[in-house]
Every structure is written in C-alpha cells, then in structure tokens.
Amino acid sequence: MHVFGRLWLLLAFVAPPVAADELTPGEHAEFRFVRLAYGSNQLAEYGRGRRTKWRTDMPEAENHLLQGISRLTRVEAAREPHAVTALADDLFDYPWLYAVEVGYWALNEDEAARLREYLLRGGFLVVDDFHGTIEWATFIDTLSRVFPDRPIVEIPEDDEVFHVHFDLDSRIQIPSRMFIYRGVTWERDGYTPHWRGIYDDDGRLMVVINFNMDLGDAWEHADWPEYPENMTALAYRFGINYLIYSMTH
C-alpha cells in the first residue's frame, strides 16, 4: 500500500493543474479509480438492458470524476478505470476502492476477510448510492462480516476527510438523476443524508459511507444542463477529498 507524505500534498496543490492530455494513462499513474466487483442476486435496469449492480454508472461516473481530478489537483490519474474483486491479486496495489449500490452487495466469508485485511493495512473504501432502511439492512448484513466488532459512526464535521483539500461544510443531499424528473432528492424512505464511517485503532478513517446519496450520478451527469451544478460541484469535492485522504493516510 502506497502512502504519500505531507510534503507531497503541499507540492501537489501549489502547482498549476495538469492538462488532461498530460495525464499518465497507465500503470505509472499516481491514482487509479478502482471499483469493487461483488456478487449479488439483483440486476440494475438500464433502459432495455440489465447489468450487475456494482457496474452502475460505469464508466461515465469515473470518466467525469477523472476529468475533475485533472482540473482541480496535481494528481496524475490513469485514464482507464479498473475493477477488482475482494480476492483479486492486485487488490493491495490501490489505496482507493469504490463500491456502489451496496444495498444489494454480498460478500462471502473469504471475501469479507480479504477486504478486512485490505482496510486494516491502509486501504480506503468509499460506498455510495444506496437508500432507505431496507438497503441499509442489507448493507450492514455484509459489512458485519468485514468488521463484526467495529462501530459505524457519524463522521464528525471537523474530521480531516472533510478538510484535506476542500472545506466541506455544506451538508446537502446529493441525489440521483431521478431528482430531475421527480423533484425530490430522496429515494424510498431515505429522507436524510448521512456521512458515516469506520475507523481503525489509530483513528484513521477506513470506510466512508455515503448513505441516502448518489455521488456517482452527480459525477456521471456533470454535463447534463438539467442536473443542478451545485450538487455536481459538491460531489466532485467529496470525491477529491476522499481520494486525497486515501493517498495521504
């Protein structure tokens, strides 16, 4: 697991941003957007097609966020997103892991143990796009296999993850694109957004839980005039803070 020091962090943000065509596309990049591929008995609907839940918004969400990273930071990000299972040989090569639609995920005992090892050794997991009490219960059922003895807490407003690059004092619900058609930001009974987390024994945040929110849709639809700009901008800032935190802790 690669860890970058404070000096790197300082240098990264006093220099001008990198143009998109200067980014390193392959294995020498500093950062790669990596998704967790997991088993589920549910499929997501996409028009006339269907795909596995973990692939929701892929690759559009990644591609838009990576453009934001190139504009707003000095991080050299690989152009190509990547996906791994919890048992993949290269899991430990990446400090960042993103899991979407975790209201439907399922990990067996071997996968849960491997993900636990990854997180305790310095990995950082961001979960996103799940809503309401039923999906929360499914999420917890699997997460309890990963960490049966660690509490899930509300992340304090002064936690460094909210201030490592952008000061994220705004706490508005970031909705899916369905907000455009329905006019409400919540789904199911997920009326209130929560930023929750799990910490290690040294106080390092290992898991960020974006509950009753959909950052992935806000990234994916950043170029839709109908999707509110302030929500996309906030979703970018959260994503970039999570990235910088993962690379410096």
Report the alpha-carbon distance of residue 245 to residue 100 in Å, rounded: 19
Q: Are 118 and 88 in contact (CB under 8 A)?
A: no
pLDDT digit string (tens) for 121-132?
Answer: 999 999 999 999
pTM of the model: 0.85
Beta bridge partners of 49: 46
Q: Are 45 and 178 in contact (CB under 8 A)?
A: no
**Residue given tokens 């990990």 in the structure block:** 107
pLDDT exceeds 60 at position 45: no
**Crossing angle, helix 60-72 and helix 229-248, to 10 degrees?**
70
Question: Alpha helices of the chain — where are they, by DSSP H?
Answer: 6-14, 60-72, 109-120, 132-146, 178-182, 215-220, 229-248
- Supply the pLDDT for residue 5: 34
Beta bridge partners of 83: 35
- Supply the pLDDT for residue 139: 96
Confidence of residue 89 (pLDDT cuts 50, 70, 90): very high
**Mean per-residue pLDDT, 171-187:** 85
Instruction: Look at residue 150 and give its three-state secondary structure.
Output: coil
Q: Give, in words, the CATH class of 6-17+30-248.
A: alpha beta
Q: Where are the domains of the chain?
A: 6-17+30-248
- Supply the pLDDT for residue 51: 54
Specify the range with the lowest mean pLDDT, choosing from 63-72, 108-117, 172-181: 172-181
Give the gyration radius of the chain's Cα atoms: 17
- Supply the pLDDT for residue 49: 40
Q: Residue 84 phi/psi, 5° resolution?
A: -135, 155
Question: Parallel, antiparallel, or unpaired for β 49-52 and 43-46?
Answer: antiparallel
pLDDT digit string (tens) for 198-237?
Answer: 999 999 999 999 999 999 999 999 888 889 999 999 999 9
**Mean per-residue pLDDT, 35-50:** 61
Which amino acid belongs to residue 23?
Answer: L
Cα torsion at 122, 92, 56, 130 (round to 10°)?
-30
**Mean per-residue pLDDT, 101-128:** 97
Average pLDDT, the chain: 85
> Is the backbone peptide bond immediately before 175 cis, with ω within 30 degrees of 0?
no
Instruction: Look at residue 43 and give its three-state secondary structure.
Output: strand
Q: Are 199 and 205 in contact (CB under 8 A)?
A: yes
Confidence of residue 9 (pLDDT cuts 50, 70, 90): very low
**Mean per-residue pLDDT, 29-36:** 93
Specify the range with the lowest mean pLDDT, choosing from 45-49, 56-60, 74-78, 108-112: 45-49
